[in-house]
Amino acid sequence: MAPTVAARVQAFDWLRGLAVLFMIQCHAMVLLLPDLKDQPLFRTLVRLDGLVAPAFIFSAGFSLALVQVRGAASGGPRWPRVRKTLRRIGEVLAVATLVNWMWFPLLREPKWLLRLDILHCIGLSLLLALPLLVLLAPRPRVLRWVTLLLAALTFGLSPLLEHAPPLDWLLNNNGGSVFGLLPWAGYVYLGASAGATAGLGQLWALVRWLAMIGLAGAAIWIATPWFRDLYPPHQFWVTNPANCAQRWTVIMGVLLLLLWFEQKGAGLVKSAPVRFVSAFGGTSMAAYFFHEALLYFRLPLVGFSFNAWWGKSCDWPKYWALTALLIGITYLLVLLTDRVYRKVDAKLK
C-alpha cells in the first residue's frame, strides 16, 4: 500500500522549528562586536539566515492550501473553515502590528503602520491567496498548477517592479518596509502548490512535486548569469529569480530530508531534540514575538533587553552563550503560550 500524507505533516513543523532557531540566532547577531562582521563565520551565518524567511513563507502557503483542500474534500459548509482561517491571519497581522509598536512610536507617527516586516508579508500574502485557494480547493490538481504559475509570475516580475510608486511600501523593500510582497509572496504560491499536492493524499506525489520544484530551482540557479543580465539594474540578492531559486532549492532539499526522517526515524521522532524543534515549529508566531521582545523591548524600571545590556559588545563565545539563553527563555514562553492558546481555542470552538 502506497504511503499517505499524515494528518499533520511533521516535516513542515520541523522546518519551521529549525527556521525559528536560525531566526533567533540571526537577530541575536546585533550583540556581536562590529569588528566580527568581517569574519568568514559571520558571512556564512548570514547566508544560512537568508533561508529563514523563504522557509517560513513557503510553509505558510503549504499549510493554507492543505487545509483548504482537505476541508473541501471532507464536504460541509466552507464558511466556518474560511472564518477560522481569517481569524488566524488576523492574529498574524495583529502580532505584526504589536512588534512594530515595540520598535516605533506608532501613536505619534502612524506612518510606521505601513512598514511591512515578515509577519505582515505572510499575513497579507495569505489574505490575497485565500480567495483563489477557496475557489479551487475542490480541484487540487488544477490548484497546484495555477499557484505554481502565479509563483513563477511573481518571481519573474519582481525585478521589474522594484520601483512602483506609490505602492513601494507594499510591493518591495522600499518606504521603510523590510519584506514587501515582491518577491516574497511568490513563496506562498510555491508552498500552496505543494500543499495542494499534499491534499491529494499520496506521499510520493508530494515528494515528486517537491523534487520537481527543487530541480527547477537548481536549473534556474545554474542559469544565474543569464537571469542577472535579463533585467535592468536591480537588487539581485532580493528580487532576482535566480537568487530566489537558490533559496527554494536548498529548502526543498531540507524538506525532502525531513520527510524521509519522518518516515524512517520513528524511534527518534519523540526524542527530546525533535520535540524541542517541534515546539518552536508548532508555535512559531509566539516564538517570533517573544524573542523580538526579549531582544529589543526594554522592560520598565530595569530597562532590560538583550540588546540594551549586551548590544555590539560580545565576542563569539559570549554571543553563543547569550543566544542559547535567549532561545531557552523563548522556549519556556512558547510552551506557556501554547497551553493558553489551546484553552482559548477550545473555548472558541
Q: pLDDT, tens digit, for every residue of 30-41?
A: 999 999 999 999
Q: What is the mean pLDDT of residues 81-94?
A: 91
The Cα 176–Cα 159 span in angstroms is 18
Q: What is the pLDDT of residue 349?
A: 62
**Helix then strand then coil, % of the chain, to nearest 5:** 75, 0, 20
Residue 189 or 304, more confident: 189
The answer to the question of residue 99 being in a domain is yes
Please report the pLDDT score of residue 258 as a whole number.
Answer: 95
pLDDT band at 131 (very low <50, low <70, confident <90, very high): very high
Residue 341 lies in a domain: yes
**pLDDT value of position 167:** 78
Section 94-99 average pLDDT = 90
Domain-located, residue 1: no
Q: What is the pLDDT of residue 265?
A: 74
* Percent of the chain predicted with pLDDT > 70: 97
For residues 215 and 155, the answer to whether their CB atoms sit within 8 Å is no
pLDDT confidence tier of residue 250, bands split at 50, 70 and 90: very high
Say which range, 137-141, 269-273, 309-313, 340-344, has the weakest mean pLDDT: 340-344
Query: Which of these ranges, 48-62, 244-258, 267-281, has the smallest mean pLDDT?
Result: 267-281
Q: Say what the pLDDT of residue 162 is.
A: 84
> Which is higher by pLDDT, 192 or 174?
192
Q: How remote is the C-alpha of 260 from its chain's centroid? A: 21
- pLDDT band per the 50, 70, 90 thresholds, residue 43: very high
Look at residue 139 in the predicted model and tell me its pLDDT: 96
Average pLDDT over residues 5-32: 92
The reported pLDDT for the residue numbered 269 is: 77
Give whole-number Cα distances, 292 to 25, 117, 129, 153, 237, in Å: 11, 12, 27, 33, 24
Give 284's contacts (C-beta < 8 A, 6+ positions apart).
16, 17, 19, 20, 56
Given its phi and psi angles, is residue 293 left (phi above 0), alpha (psi -120 to 50 degrees) or beta?
A: alpha
257-266: pLDDT as tens digits? 999 998 887 6
**Residue 322 domain flag:** yes
Residue 14 clears pLDDT 70, i.e. is over it:
yes
Whether residue 133 lies inside any domain: the answer is yes
Mean pLDDT of all residues in 55-64: 96
The stretch 193-221 carries a mean pLDDT of: 96
Residue 1 in this model has a pLDDT that exceeds 60: no
What pLDDT is recorded for position 341? 75
Q: Cell 531566526 sits at which residue?
A: 23
Output the pLDDT for position 169. Answer: 76
Residue 3 placed within a domain: no
Q: Measured between alpha carbons, how far is 207 from 138 in angstroms, rounded to an integer?
A: 21
Domain that holds residue 52: 10-348
Residue 332: how many other CB atoms lie within 10 Å: 10
Q: What's the structural domain count of the chain? A: 1
Q: How sure is the predictor about 208, in pLDDT bands with cuts at 50, 70 and 90? A: very high
Report the pLDDT value the prediction gives residue 100, as an integer from 0 to 100.
85
SS3 208: helix
Q: Which three cell numbers stand for residue 35?
A: 569588528
